Amino acid sequence: MKDKLREAAIELFERKGFKETSVQEIVEAVGATKGAFYYYYKSKEELLSDICLSYMDDLLRQQERILEDAGASCTEKLWEIVYMVICNIRTRKKSARIFFREMRHLADGHLEEIRAKRRLFRKRYEQLIRDGMARGEFKASLNAEMITFGLLGITNWSYYWFQPDGSISERELTEIYVDFILHGIRTPDGTEINKETDRPLN
């Protein structure tokens, strides 16, 4: 029943917003009573916190599994993390959107707990970049912290536009983004073509 309440709340919070959804609507959606609701959750806020925490815990578990793989290079682990975050859009898009949009409605204690988990995810990611720099896979000159924010930006932003059943698959998007992250968009020699003559400018 707890899972059912959470699933119903994810649907309603995502569609209507946290503030605009009442406990009554949540229990009606699963055919339960308010008594049942308050058996599992002290308040609507605690349910929101549960949704955000379970979202972050799940991401952290998946990230840990990838980072633990002693046989993989940092580049391979980077690939796996990008793929993991993109694949989560299919199953966790609504939770993610609630997470980003409604976090401000959390009580201070819950907010701090969730922020700590989010920071852990980012700091582990940053450590992977530092490890790659130490191993000579990634450039030693990188600002690992800023680059990590950039990597998170690329994949987190995809929650707002990527359609997993559209013309580009999760694997294809991962290939495009990891190639971009590793090698950039500039041609190796940066040659510019003169548009009139179709010949190199330099």
| C-alpha to C-alpha distances, 133 to 35, 67, 71, 196, nearest whole angstrom | 55, 16, 17, 42
Q: Which is nearer to a copy of itself, 36 or 144 (CB)?
A: 144
Half-sphere exposure of 75 (CA within 13 A, CB side): 12
Binding window for a copy of itself (CB under 8 A); candidates: 22-30, 37-45, 59-67, 152-160 = 152-160
Binding flag, residue 61, a copy of itself (CB under 8 A): no
Interaction of residue 146 with a copy of itself, rule CB under 8 A:
yes
Site string for a copy of itself, 104-123 (x = CB under 8 A): x-------------------
* Tokens found for residue 41: 């959750």
Residue 17 found at the interface with a copy of itself (CB under 8 A): yes
Residue 36's H or E segment, with its range, is: helix 34-40
Q: How far apart are CA 47 and CA 6, in angstroms?
A: 7
Q: Which of 57, 49, 47, 36 is nearest to 9 (CA)?
A: 47
Nearest CA to 12 among 32, 34, 27? 27
Q: Which of 24, 33, 73, 91 binds a copy of itself (CB under 8 A)?
A: 73
For the CB of residue 40, give the shortest distance to a copy of itself in the complex, in Å.
26
Query: Minimum distance from CB of 108 to a copy of itself (Å)?
Result: 16
Under the criterion CB under 8 A, does residue 153 sit at the interface with a copy of itself?
yes
What sign does the CA torsion over 176, 155, 55, 91 have? negative
Q: How many residues bind a copy of itself (CB under 8 A)?
A: 49
Binding site residues, a copy of itself, CB under 8 A: 17, 19-20, 73, 75, 101, 104, 129, 132, 134-140, 142-143, 146-147, 149-150, 152-158, 161-162, 168, 173, 176-177, 180-187, 190-193, 195, 200
